[in-house]
Amino acid sequence: MKLYDSVRAPNPRRVRLFLAEKGITVPMVTVDLAAFEHREASYSKINTLQRTPALELDDGIILTESVAICRYFEAIHPEPALFGRTPIEQARIEMWNRRAELELFIPITHVFRHLHPGMAKHEVPQIAEWGEANKPKVIAGLALLNDALAHYPFVAGEAFSIADITALCAIDFMKPTRIKVPDEMVHLLRWHAEVSARPSAAA
């Protein structure tokens, strides 16, 4: 088994953080996105979509998509459960993982990819107006999480889950977009300090 990984990019970090929470070590192969290694023929054979992460199993099966890779590790290594146990927990974690992704993570990537000069060769065409249109969506996504975290310690409820991992990787990726969590979102800031202090956050 080996994991194709990239530094700084938020999606590979989701998987590294998930593995750290599970206490699983997997051999890593670093793919340098800045050097466009993900566009080379050798990596395109691993993932035709030319993105990281990707997990290659010993029998040659390749899994892509961060959450699919995490779900595989959840199935073969169930403890600690990061996708929930009961039907309600599983549904709430799925719901909040998707909200963290669709309402926050994706708008952040659109701001970054459509406004950052360094992304001009990665996102063609760059559409500045679309990047700007995503800034209020990011603030709305942050507010949604802040409201949830007023009632619960973690994004999806009482327990740390993959929804916290998605939200943390999204928020930490706001740095290159120059958006900050507003000071008045005190519940989100409380949560961010707590999850950032977990050893897995260094992954």
Residues that bind its own copies in the complex, under the rule CB under 8 A: 48-49, 61, 63-65, 67-69, 71-72, 75-76, 86-88, 90-92, 94-95, 98-99, 102-103, 125, 127, 129-130, 133, 144, 147
Nearer to its own copies, 90 or 152 (CB): 90
If one counts every other C-beta atom within 10 angstroms of the C-beta of residue 49, the result is: 11
In the complex, the smallest distance separating the C-beta of residue 193 from its own copies, rounded to whole angstroms, is: 25
In the complex, the smallest distance separating the C-beta of residue 131 from its own copies, rounded to whole angstroms, is: 10
Nearer to its own copies, 61 or 186 (CB): 61
DSSP 59-85: TS-EEESHHHHHHHHHHHS-SS-SS-S
In the complex, the smallest distance separating the C-beta of residue 79 from its own copies, rounded to whole angstroms, is: 15
If one counts every other C-beta atom within 10 angstroms of the C-beta of residue 127, the result is: 13
Compute the distance between CA of residue 54 and CA of residue 67 in angstroms, rounded to an integer. Answer: 11
In the complex, the smallest distance separating the C-beta of residue 59 from its own copies, rounded to whole angstroms, is: 9
Q: Is the dihedral of CA 143, 145, 147, 150 positive or negative?
A: negative
Tokens (6 digits) for 141 = 């996504």
Compute the distance between CA of residue 141 and CA of residue 109 in angstroms, rounded to an integer. Answer: 13
If one counts every other C-beta atom within 10 angstroms of the C-beta of residue 21, the result is: 22
Nearer to its own copies, 164 or 201 (CB): 164
In the complex, the smallest distance separating the C-beta of residue 180 from its own copies, rounded to whole angstroms, is: 23
Tokens (6 digits) for 132 = 């700007």
Nearer to its own copies, 48 or 196 (CB): 48
Nearer to its own copies, 9 or 201 (CB): 9
